[in-house]
Structure 1
Amino acid sequence: MPGLVPSVQRFDTITGISDAVWTALLANPARANLILPHAEKVFGRQKFTPKLDATGQFWLTYSKPGTSEIHLILSCTEGAMGKYPLFILSTVPIAELTAELLESSMEALCSALLDERGFKKERVFSVFSVEKVAEAFALQWSKRTGIDCLKNPYYEAFFSVCTASTLVRQQRPARSSDSYEMLEPRLAVEQDAEQLTEQCRDFAATSPPFTLSEEEARKEASLLIANKSVWVLEMQKRDEKPEIATIVAVTRKSKGVATISKVYTPEKWRGNGCAARLVRHVCIELLETYEQVVLYVGVDNGAKYVYDRVGFQGLSEGSPLSERWLEIGFDQNKVELGHW
């Protein structure tokens, strides 16, 4: 019938993103944290160094056929460190993601991707979304392209939120020893670049295949410092140069929401309470400006107890706030790996 809204609509840096899509993203900025902050940077709604390359970045929306009711938003984008996985946001409650809706929407989104002019199926190296959506997309994409999805997800995580009402401000006294003193947390500065480079590289090494070379780690460290998006906590031995014991990066921010995207403590400093102290400090600072601090934490990550002690919610299976997300990868011999 003429006049009906197509189920899939496409937006890029030339067409711009429609008001309806911005509204859908801003309606739940916490769960849109993978898509919304990047879109705001691309379209100049927030500052970022350096300016992002707009070439080849686009967004797809899936709406209930014949209506303008957006159910899913897919981003195919690229950051300063390379191409991102496909990110898919569901704008409807998980309970409403029926098998019928998932099948029809994923068929439509996969068709739109494959019909994209100049788009290579090898670009889709992984997809990250809430569990139901990630699994449905991976199944349909493999069916349509012949590129198998990997049996084991790259990342299986709980989506977690901390607010001013859940934040646990009390903390255990800093652990000290005769050898080292724990210094006050602070934002990283240029003088931290060498140590930060090492920690960025070591953090990435825990998440294969998305590892970083020395040069790439140096670039990431420089970006984090330039954008004032990484905090450090140091330990200092008497009369010696301080050593960075923990880093916390916050690389995605939008109205009311800040996302912790990296927490890393080298093995040498684990067990001293460094991560909990720095994460708590960063949350206290962020919650003066933002309503929510969110993060993803691996289902089997022993650091969950750290976030629980700080006040993050939804960190265990069966919790009313529990929400499982998956990053599902595709046959590495048939795709071009990116990074995020």
Structure 2
Amino acid sequence: MPGLNSPVRYFDRTNIPKDVWDVLRAHAARANVILPHAEKVSSHPEFLPDSEQLWMVYSEPGTSKIRFILSCTEGPLGTYPIFIVPTAPIVELIPELLQSPMEALCYALLNEANVRRQRVFSVFSVQPVAEAFASAWGKIAEIDCIKQPYYDAIFTMCTQCTLETSVLAVAPSEEEVIELRLAVPQDVDKISSLCQEFANTSHPFILTSEQASKEASLLIENGQVWVYEIEDAGGETDIASIVAVTRESNAVAAITKVYTPQKWGRKGRAERLVRRVCRELLKTHEQVVLYVGADNHAKKLYNRVGFQGLSEGSPPIDGVEKWLEIGFDRAEVELGHW
């Protein structure tokens, strides 16, 4: 454990203090990778009772000002990456100011009895923080980072003011009967298959059939997945697209999975479902957020729905940031899943 003068504090699910909650909720959009899970495991002791749930806070030395919140936590399908949420604006996150905090967090992780060095399989944060942590961890834990990021993403958001309700880029066929709805238990097999297909596009975080079935069941049970159900002219029904919303706090909801199998693609179905889900979520939340790959053609879809900062040549927008997931040598670590 850190000494009395250390800028790093540790917390488990039972003792997160008010000042940490206040900071997380004040940065609810950026903290979406940490806040909803922390709220759930802290308020529901029965949820994953024997799992690893650890948070660390780095405060500016000599002050109580929280600069970084790190999570080393676990979900139903396995351990999560190291998530780090900074509280400073992106322009202040320069390498020379990041080295000392990231090194302190790395040493704190290595000194925590319940965290083995193999546990840290990747880090996900805004680009400068992810790069600084990966560099520090590589030196201190002596595990090389993988040069090509697992995920190079843009963090973006949609609000009531930006939600676009215009006509789809591609209108649905008049021949198909359509229902956009929350999934029900009878959908589990189809959603399981789609979850596994989606994971196969997110190497190395693939799912076995058993894991995909577990994920689908949890999504349905928790009311976290929407489906685009179609019935063709022959009377056959299928799920043409899914949208999952798995991280919700009071003010912010995150779309965390959007998938359309190839046979149903390029017909505007995902766009229509995402727009519907956003419309529903914005009835009770201030923002809907998501991450989209920097080279993902889905940026155009999300831009049409109303997510900000995704159009070519658009000026910088406050809160729209580049995030990276940087992995570590897979021969040295134990992969989790998120």
Return the alpha-carbon distance in structure 2 between the equivalents of residues 313 and 252 of structure 1.
19
Structure 1 residue aligned with 2:278, among 278, 283, 294?
283
Match of 2:89 in 1: 93
Q: Work out whether residues 67 and 88 of structure 2, in 8 Å CA contact, stay in contact via their aligned partners in 1.
A: yes
Q: Structure 1 residues 54, 25: CA separation in 2 closer, same or farther (over 3 Å shift)?
A: farther
Match of 2:11 in 1: 11
Q: Where does 1:212-291 land on structure 2 (aligned, <5 Å)?
A: 212-291=207-286
Match of 2:72 in 1: 76
Is the aligned partner of 1:175 residue 2:172? yes
Return the alpha-carbon distance in structure 2 between the equivalents of residues 259 and 64 of structure 1.
29
Match of 2:321 in 1: 323
Return the alpha-carbon distance in structure 2 between the equivalents of residues 246 and 330 of structure 1.
33
Report the residue type matching 1:10 in the other structure: Y
Q: Work out whether residues 160 and 314 of structure 1, in 8 Å CA contact, stay in contact via their aligned partners in 2.
A: yes
CA-CA distance at 1:182 after TM superposition: 4.4
Return the alpha-carbon distance in structure 2 between the equivalents of residues 88 and 7 of structure 1.
16
The CA deviation string for residues 218-277 of structure 1, in whole angstroms up to 9 with x for no partner, is 000000000000000022123433110000000000011000000000000111100110
The CA deviation string for residues 94-151 of structure 1, in whole angstroms up to 9 with x for no partner, is 1112323200101100010011013210000000000000000000000011110001
Match of 2:335 in 1: 337
CA-CA distance at 1:44 after TM superposition: 1.4
Return the alpha-carbon distance in structure 2 between the equivalents of residues 70 and 312 of structure 1.
29
Return the alpha-carbon distance in structure 2 between the equivalents of residues 323 and 202 of structure 1.
28
Report the residue type matching 2:219 in the other structure: L
Q: Work out whether residues 261 and 295 of structure 1, in 8 Å CA contact, stay in contact via their aligned partners in 2.
A: yes
Q: CA RMSD in A?
A: 1.7
What is the SS of the residue equivalent to 2:33?
Answer: coil
Match of 1:53 in 2: 49
Return the alpha-carbon distance in structure 2 between the equivalents of residues 19 and 54 of structure 1.
24
Return the alpha-carbon distance in structure 2 between the equivalents of residues 263 and 55 of structure 1.
28
CA-CA distance at 1:5 after TM superposition: 5.8
Match of 2:42 in 1: 43
Return the alpha-carbon distance in structure 1 between the equivalents of residues 152 and 314 of structure 2.
15
Q: Work out whether residues 145 and 327 of structure 2, in 8 Å CA contact, stay in contact via their aligned partners in 1.
A: yes
Q: TM-score, normalised by structure 2?
A: 0.94
| Percentage of pairs with the same residue | 57
Q: Work out whether residues 158 and 324 of structure 1, in 8 Å CA contact, stay in contact via their aligned partners in 2.
A: yes
The CA deviation string for residues 287-309 of structure 1, in whole angstroms up to 9 with x for no partner, is 11101000000000011100000
Report the residue type matching 1:68 in the other structure: S
Return the alpha-carbon distance in structure 1 between the equivalents of residues 43 and 111 of structure 2.
28
What is the SS of the residue equivalent to 2:288?
Answer: strand
Structure 1 residue aligned with 2:102, among 102, 106, 117?
106
Match of 1:305 in 2: 300
Gaps of 5+ in 1: none
What is the SS of the residue equivalent to 2:334?
Answer: coil
Return the alpha-carbon distance in structure 2 between the equivalents of residues 208 and 182 of structure 1.
35
Q: TM-score, normalised by structure 1?
A: 0.94
Q: Work out whether residues 13 and 54 of structure 1, in 8 Å CA contact, stay in contact via their aligned partners in 2.
A: no
Q: Work out whether residues 4 and 67 of structure 1, in 8 Å CA contact, stay in contact via their aligned partners in 2.
A: no
Return the alpha-carbon distance in structure 2 between the equivalents of residues 315 and 292 of structure 1.
16
CA-CA distance at 1:54 after TM superposition: 4.8
Match of 2:61 in 1: 65
| 124-133 or 97-106: bigger deviation | 97-106
Q: Work out whether residues 260 and 270 of structure 2, in 8 Å CA contact, stay in contact via their aligned partners in 1.
A: yes
Return the alpha-carbon distance in structure 1 between the equivalents of residues 257 and 180 of structure 2.
16
